[in-house]
Amino acid sequence: MVWSVLERSLVLLLRGASRLLLALLSLAQSFGPRNVRPVPPAVRPLLLLSGVELARRIRQKQIKCVDVIQEYISRIRDVNPIINAVVAERFAAALKEAKEVDNRIAEGGEDVKSLEESVPYLGVPFTVKEAIALEGSPNSSGLVSRKNVIALTDADVVTNLRKAGAIPLGVTNCSELCMWYESSNNLYGTTRNPYNVDRIVGGSSGGEGCIIAAAGSVMGVGSDIGGSIRMPAFFNGIYGHKPTTGLVPNGGQFPNATGRKAEFLCTGPMCRYVEDLIPMLKVMAGPNISKVKLDEEVFIKKVKFYSMEHDGGSPFVSKVDSELIRAQRKLTEYLEVQFGVQVQQVQIHKMKYAFQIWSAMMVSPETDGKESRSFKELMADHGKEIRPLWELVKKILGLSPHTIPAIGLVITEDLAKANHQSNVKLMNMSRNLQNEFSNLLGDDGVFLYPSHPKIAPRHHHPKLMPFNFAYTAIFNVLGLPVTQCPLGLSKDGLPLGIQLVANHHNDHLCLRVAQHLECAFGGWRNPGAP
Ligand SMILES: *[C@@H]1O[C@H](CO)[C@@H](O)[C@H](O)[C@H]1NC(C)=O
Ligand SMILES: *[C@@H]1O[C@H](CO)[C@@H](O)[C@H](O)[C@H]1NC(C)=O
Ligand SMILES: *[C@@H]1O[C@H](CO)[C@@H](O)[C@H](O)[C@H]1NC(C)=O
Ligand SMILES: *[C@@H]1O[C@H](CO)[C@@H](O)[C@H](O)[C@H]1NC(C)=O
Ligand SMILES: CC(=O)N[C@H]1CO[C@H](CO)[C@@H](O)[C@@H]1O
């Protein structure tokens, strides 16, 4: 009892301190040189087509693959100095592969239909998060000690996309060890938001979200253990899908999740045009796609919608921005008016403990008692385990190669492990929450929930709101499929969005609802366009 009063006071004190620091940081930043411009808008027509459409036109000889690849290379060269998203390219190899595609089509040995079936993305460019292996590209996950690690093979999902004919252009930035929601590390620096370079791109698949939104890539590969696909997709105003756990193979990424963490890690598609989500997911998943019903028609009128506007007041997490709440209300209104459905407002009380549940589950041992690899070990990358407090001292003296969030994560992990008794309770709570969602959503329910409490914050601000990723992370623990869907721009021209959540193996529900919303809410917006 005494302890809980103490704990509560400590949390309140920390909250007050972090608010004060945020205000001071904003003040200090407003004196420095400010650059709040977006990137120049994409105007070239080939940059404004979905992957599906590019593939169709290439197959039908309406456009040349070489021209598409060349157009994207030029766009990356134009925008990358501003946003720092692509960290290694393979442009020469991509152009060579594009010529081969054009030759294959010119020979005319295969009819259009069979090309569509066997290589649905023939000739379409894509990018890959640096932590996911692309043969010949660095595979460091932003760890300075892995600076010279070059992937020798492709990750499973990259293999699948290449088999479908897609052409990789390069790899993009992420946060150190993929464990933070600002993409900034001591190897590649900081990636900047294409709508306003003063803002973050999110993480850990932040370079992907950024280069796709800046029209430097059509589509990309991300991975998500606490929101790493959905947060960058949200901050950059594009689509991202975290599939049902176990649907898409995770092989070939660093860190490769082991133990229970492997249950939370999901690899998935990110893209600008909603029509690419389902075809990409089909290609990336491989044979396991038969576990879901992506081709099943969905009648929105028959979907049961549930909406929750905030987590119920967790002391660790910021309040949801009023513009995001307004966007969510506009969405529920649209669904009700357009489809005659009744969106039910729900309060799921355990969502308030999302952050605690996620951290307890991340450190929980396997059912066989084995622990999964800790971040301490991963950060050392086969070297000596790092000692977080000592690392923090070194950091302050400017001697540590690690980022503050990564060191903070190791400390949080140690604290979470020490709290064994409350972890048992939290794990139980997680099971109960899972049942609650299963019963609520069934095979016809979609749950609307904010993607994040804040619209793309300024650089460094996440350090003072470290647990805001709880809004996405809870669905990794629950293993549910979630589509992040853009909902237009804020008054400051920054992306708004929402998470559409369905029950296990009902990915088709949230994906099809997202398709219905693209037209009404405008989908991706060209940054910098009037
Ligand atoms: C990426 O990193 C892993 C882990 O250290 C390494 O073993 C491998 O060479 C790289 N992956 C691939 C598939 O090449
Ligand atoms: C299919 O999913 C299971 C787990 O659900 C996984 O073990 C297996 O490797 C997957 N198969 C492929 C080919 O990705
Ligand atoms: C993950 O990495 C460990 C150690 O590098 C390796 O033994 C294991 O096979 C890898 N697992 C997967 C699923 O790639
Ligand atoms: C787990 O939760 C259930 C349902 O609320 C409760 O009945 C049970 O006592 C809990 N068990 C533990 C070990 O806390
Ligand atoms: C700003 C910054 O540090 N950019 C770096 C991104 O990564 C490339 C490739 O390693 C470097 O050349 C840039 O300097």
The model's pLDDT over 91-104, given as tens digits with 9 standing for 90+, comes to 999 999 999 999 99
Please tell me the residue having the least CA distance from ligand 4 atom 2: 428
**Percent residues over pLDDT 90 in the chain:** 78
CA distance 150 to 446: 41
Least confident of 315-324, 391-400, 481-490: 391-400
159 lines ligand 1 (CB under 6 A): no
Structure tokens, 85: 């998203």
63 lines ligand 1 (CB under 6 A): no
Query: What stretches of 364-419 show up as alpha helix (H) in DSSP?
Result: 375-380, 388-396, 404-418
User: Hey, which of 424, 427, 428, 434 would you mutate to test ligand 4's pocket, going by the most ligand atoms within 8 Å of its Cβ?
Assistant: 428
- Distance from Cα 441 to the centre of ligand 1, integer Å: 39
On the question of pLDDT at 2 being above 60, the answer is no
Residue 6 pLDDT class (50, 70, 90 cuts): low
Please tell me the residue having the least CA distance from ligand 2 atom 4: 246
- Distance from Cα 254 to the centre of ligand 3, integer Å: 9
Asked if residues 248 and 197 have their Cβ atoms less than 8 Å apart, the reply is no
Structure tokens, 242: 């975290």
Write the single-letter amino acid at 473: A
CA dihedral 68, 70, 72, 76 (to 10 degrees): 180
347 lines ligand 1 (CB under 6 A): no
139 lines ligand 1 (CB under 6 A): yes
- Distance from Cα 221 to the centre of ligand 5, integer Å: 21
Please tell me the residue having the least CA distance from ligand 3 atom 4: 256
Structure tokens, 397: 């003296």
pLDDT reported for residue 373: 75
- Classify residue 321 by its DSSP letter: P
Asked if residues 281 and 120 have their Cβ atoms less than 8 Å apart, the reply is no
Residues 6+ apart with CB under 8 A from 57: 49, 63
- Distance from Cα 428 to the centre of ligand 4, integer Å: 6
Please tell me the residue having the least CA distance from ligand 5 atom 8: 87
CA distance 438 to 365: 24
Residue 328 three-state SS: helix
Strand partners, 271: 219, 239
256 lines ligand 3 (CB under 6 A): yes
CA distance 170 to 172: 7
CA distance 208 to 233: 8
Please tell me the residue having the least CA distance from ligand 3 atom 6: 256
CB atoms within 10 A of CB 367: 7
Asked if residues 436 and 445 have their Cβ atoms less than 8 Å apart, the reply is no
CA distance 355 to 453: 13
On the question of pLDDT at 480 being above 60, the answer is yes
CA 142 to chain centre: 16
Q: What would the mean pLDDT of 6-24 be, rounded to a whole number?
A: 79
**pTM > 0.85: yes or no:** yes
Asked if residues 486 and 497 have their Cβ atoms less than 8 Å apart, the reply is yes
Strand 495-501 and strand 482-489: the pairing is antiparallel
CA distance 218 to 60: 19
Asked if residues 153 and 144 have their Cβ atoms less than 8 Å apart, the reply is no
- Distance from Cα 482 to the centre of ligand 3, integer Å: 27
Question: Which residue ranges have their beta carbon within 6 Å of ligand 2?
Answer: 246, 249, 286-288
149 lines ligand 1 (CB under 6 A): yes
On the question of pLDDT at 402 being above 50, the answer is yes
432 lines ligand 4 (CB under 6 A): yes
CA distance 311 to 227: 16
Closest ligand, as measured to the CA of 251: 3
Active site residues: 129, 204, 228
Domains of the chain (ranges; CATH) run 42-521 (3.90.1300.10)
422 lines ligand 4 (CB under 6 A): no
Task: Give me the phi and psi of 28, to 5 degrees please.
Answer: -60, -40
The model's pLDDT over 27-53, given as tens digits with 9 standing for 90+, comes to 888 877 777 889 999 999 999 999 999
Examine residue 450 and say whether the peptide bond preceding it is cis (omega within 30 degrees of 0).
no
CA angle 157–522–516, rounded 5-degree value = 70
- Distance from Cα 152 to the centre of ligand 1, integer Å: 7
CA distance 317 to 473: 12
